[in-house]
Structure 1
Amino acid sequence: MNIAEAIGWTGAILYIIAYFLLSIGWIKAETTFYHLLNILGAIGLIINAHYLDDFPNIIVNLVWLGIGVLAIFMLIKKNQTLEKQ
């Protein structure tokens, strides 16, 4: 196993952990932790897909990464708004 493959497997495991923890109610989708797991998973799978020249997978995971980053920014903004009240 090369490093890109190991990083890809780590990314896949992080996606599975995020979804599992969400599904059993141990974490909520409105948490930074959930989105960080997804962002790190996306990065791992992007690295692996780049190594394999798998462009559809790169695009899907870039979108997934973008959604996670946007969600974290929205959570930060929401928390800042709540602190001002």
Structure 2
Amino acid sequence: MDLTVIVVNVVGWLGMALLIGAYALVTAGRLHGTSLMFQLMNLFGGAFLMVNSAYYGAWPSAALNVVWVGIGIVGLLRAARGKRGRVPEHAA
């Protein structure tokens, strides 16, 4: 197996683990959906899966992950600005 294929597969598995981990931690109440860690896990998970999907030509999945990364960037920018514009927890 080519080294590039191995790296792309490892990156894809890491992306999957980050996204599933973030979802599981929020569902279990161990992480808040607006936390920096949640946003970083989603941003990197989406980016890693985007690389994997694009490499294998899975364009619908790659496009989904482009959007996922965009949402992660917006979340990080909001977290960097503080609580301004944040939706109250009871409204979500």
Task: Note whether the superposition's TM-score is higher than 0.5.
Answer: yes
Query: Quick check: 1:39 aligned with 2:43?
Result: yes
Q: Which ranges in structure 2 are unaligned for 5 or more consecutive residues? A: 85-92
Q: What number of residue pairs does the alignment pair up? A: 81
The two structures, once aligned, show a CA RMSD in angstroms of 1.7
1:24 maps to a residue whose letter is: A
Select the structure with the greater relative contact order (CA < 8 A; seq sep ≥ 6): 1
Pairing 1:16-55 to 2, within 5 Å after superposition: 16-55=20-59
Q: Which ranges in structure 1 are unaligned for 5 or more consecutive residues? A: 81-85
Q: Quote the residue 2:78 is aligned against.
A: 74
> Equivalents in 2 of 1:36, 1:75: separation in Å?
11
List structure 1 segments (4+ residues) > 2 angstroms apart after TM superposition: none
TM-score (norm 1): 0.87
TM-score (norm 2): 0.81
Sequence identity percentage: 28
Specify which structure has the higher proportion of helix. 1
